[in-house]
Amino acid sequence: MTRPLLCLALCLLALSGSVAFRLPQVLESPAEGNRTKVVDWALLVAGSGGWGNYRHQADVCHAYQVLRNGGLDDDHIVVMMADDLANNIMNPHPGKLFNRPYGPDVYEGVPLDYTGENVNADTFLKVLAGHENDSVLIGTSGKTIRSGPDDRVFVYYADHGAPGIVGMPSGSFLYADQLHKTLREKAARKGFKDMVIYMEACEAGSMFEGVLSDDLNVYATTAANSEESSWGTYCPGMFPSPPPEFDTCLGDLYSVAWLENSDHYDLRNETLEKQFEKVRRRTSNDGTFVQGSHVKQYGSLIIDEEPASDYLGVLNTGDGTVSEADGRHFRCLENGGQQAIPQREADLVPLWAAVTRATSPSERQQAYAALASKLDERASLDAGVRAAVMAVLEQPEVTAVVKATYEASWQEFVDWMNSEENKDIKFSLLIGPPSEVWILEALDNGPDVAGLSEAFMGMRLPQKRGAALVDDWDCLRGMVEAWESVRGPLDQYGMQHTRAFANLCNSGVTSQAFGKAVHDTTPATVIEAVRKAAIAATGDAQEILAVSTVPAAEAEQAAAAVMEAEMPAAGAPFDMGAIISTDDSTRRPGAETRGQPGGLPTISFLPSRPLAGILNFISSVKASVDRAILRSRGMPGDAAAAHN
């Protein structure tokens, strides 16, 4: 062959190689004696927005780069993200996103298929289902997962989660039963051969536990089990730390574990199970779970025997895709050792960084005020949910239902312990008594509503092993709607309270009963209860506690008349100035909330006060109202005072 022809052949060979790199990943596999094409599809979703959530979009952009490097074509990769960060005013590198310290830009080339308000639960489900010509697709690329019976699908989601739900930048939460319904319907239509889902979110296990069937050919792994937080990483002040110009976390621990593994290993020789084990080791901090979580598997586990390259790209061979420095970085962290922060706290990192990096007293004060305001907002939300849970549990008809539920659960446990196959199990081997025992004790003792509310908010109450979060998903949706219709949308911090809502549902409490409790414990309702109780207690027909017009001293004097008994020692004395606003001229110095100038009227719980004081105050007001009603019906004063 002459030299010109040889050069031409080499050029054509190089060109064909570059073209092949950009074609969809299509594999040939025998099927009933014929050659069948298998096409890989991918759906990547960042479910958040805002600078404090930088890491989620960086994760998703990195995932896109992994898939493109692996050979998938843009026509078969759908990306959903708010896209409010690359050109954010706070971004020190406009037009770029980074997923690890001093790593490459992962934003370049990412197809912006669905952005802004188009990233929502409804659109996500329709894209996953493969809908075409749907009205929700207007204003987008219109790409959906139009996979067929011989195709493989990879889905990756990164954002905030909570029991039974994951977030979206716009619209309502995505519920576990909604996701499973879409998967089940797509499987019934033979819309895929196999599907793999990687989910980065707090309590992500609750999206699949007891929900995902093992006969759908869907395999899922999650960053955390159904009861714990997932973790952000590459945050300022941590090891490894991002460049000094960043004031936010660059990645999430589970996500960077599988993404960096995909960057560095030949995925043709690594099964999904092997990748899972490596990701689990790194995410658990080498099994210590110190700044780490439990990575879990769900669904059709047989799929994990397949090569990771089948879903993440056959061209991901680990050869020449990363720099030598990146290689050293990865080897250093592969088995754990990097610092991390719980997802919900990671959102506060930019606010805290502003405090620590302030260069003047005034700048520092302003930054601290912003941080304190956010903390107050969170604590106020927690107090509001706790008050509503306490209020609903105080209702006798609700208490009766809860008691019946847990008596049945306890009897089921006793029967299980006494069964022939379990007769040799020693009760003493259990770590403490089953929660049914002390729940029933709390119900019989008063009931102990405060103790019950802590249990309902802080732990998963008794269910059958492996059961879904709730028996009735419509009840959970109703609980969320009941809260949001009165108190406004739950944010990425407040969504964690679906734990309490789920416990209420499983205890037989209706969303209507909870909705009434939410209304009855709003600050405005409590203020009105104080006013009425004060009138009843003092005999003064004037509205002595009219909001925004009463001098602080007079308001506190009226409150003292209402609260006949002293606060329990466990709670600090409650300051009426903390929840009742007064006019500017009479507002008592020191009654203002943190980070808020004195004199600005406000009606809100003050989180800097001990929660016990707030809750005891509410209970005292309720008791005073009850006593006033009893007196009005002729009950002697002493008897009324004893009736609490």
Cα separation of 225 and 208, whole Å?
10
Q: Which residue has the higher pLDDT, 118 or 429?
A: 118
Determine, yes or no, domain membership for 351. Answer: no
Determine, yes or no, domain membership for 248. Answer: yes
Cα separation of 136 and 195, whole Å?
24
Residue 556 pLDDT exceeds 50: no
- pTM for the whole structure: 0.76
pLDDT-based confidence at residue 521 (cuts at 50, 70, 90): confident
Q: Which CATH number do you get for residue 332?
A: 3.40.50.1460
Classify strands 340-342 and 194-200 as parallel, antiparallel or unpaired: unpaired
Show the domain range for 429: 374-505
Last residue of a domain, one of 475, 505, 535: 505
Q: How many domains does the chain have?
A: 3
pLDDT-based confidence at residue 368 (cuts at 50, 70, 90): confident
Last residue of a domain, one of 505, 539, 558: 505
Determine, yes or no, domain membership for 7. Answer: no
Determine, yes or no, domain membership for 515. Answer: no
Kindly state whether residues 302 and 420 are assigned to the same domain: no
Q: Which two tokens stand for residue 181?
A: 């319904």
Kindly state whether residues 72 and 198 are assigned to the same domain: yes
- Indicate which residue of 56, 62, 180, 202 is catalytic: 202
- Indicate which residue of 56, 62, 160, 497 is catalytic: 160
Kindly state whether residues 451 and 555 are assigned to the same domain: no
Determine, yes or no, domain membership for 362. Answer: no
Kindly state whether residues 487 and 436 are assigned to the same domain: yes
Q: Which residue has the higher pLDDT, 155 or 373?
A: 155
Cα separation of 202 and 224, whole Å?
6
Query: Residue 445: what pLDDT?
Result: 64
User: What b/e string do you get for 169-180 counting C-beta neighbours within 10 Å, with b at 16 or more?
Assistant: bebbbbbbbbbb
Determine, yes or no, domain membership for 169. Answer: yes
Determine, yes or no, domain membership for 100. Answer: yes
Kindly state whether residues 76 and 160 are assigned to the same domain: yes
Q: Which two tokens stand for residue 221?
A: 């792994």
Kindly state whether residues 184 and 227 are assigned to the same domain: yes
H-helix or E-strand spanning residue 46:
strand 34-46
Kindly state whether residues 106 and 214 are assigned to the same domain: yes
Kindly state whether residues 499 and 402 are assigned to the same domain: yes
Q: In a 3-state reduction of DSSP, which class is residue 27?
A: strand
At 42-65, the pLDDT tens digits run 999 999 999 999 999 999 999 999
At 442-497, the pLDDT tens digits run 666 666 777 778 888 887 777 777 789 999 999 999 999 999 999 999 999 999 99
Kindly state whether residues 334 and 379 are assigned to the same domain: no
Query: Residue 283: what pLDDT?
Result: 96
Kindly state whether residues 469 and 327 are assigned to the same domain: no
Kindly state whether residues 535 and 495 are assigned to the same domain: no
Helices (H) and strands (E) in the chain, counts: 21, 13
Last residue of a domain, one of 473, 505, 537: 505
**Any idea which of 108-122, 149-163, 305-319, 438-452 has the lowest mean pLDDT?**
438-452
Determine, yes or no, domain membership for 510. Answer: no
Query: Residue 333: what pLDDT?
Result: 74
Kindly state whether residues 89 and 166 are assigned to the same domain: yes
Classify strands 340-342 and 231-233 as parallel, antiparallel or unpaired: antiparallel
Tell the burial category of 271 from Cβ atoms under 10 Å away from its Cβ (0-12, 13-18, 19+): middle
Cα separation of 110 and 373, whole Å?
36
Cβ proximity of 582 and 551 under 8 Å: yes
Q: In a 3-state reduction of DSSP, which class is residue 166?
A: strand
202 as an active site residue: the answer is yes
Cβ proximity of 233 and 255 under 8 Å: no
Residue owning tokens 């732990």:
459
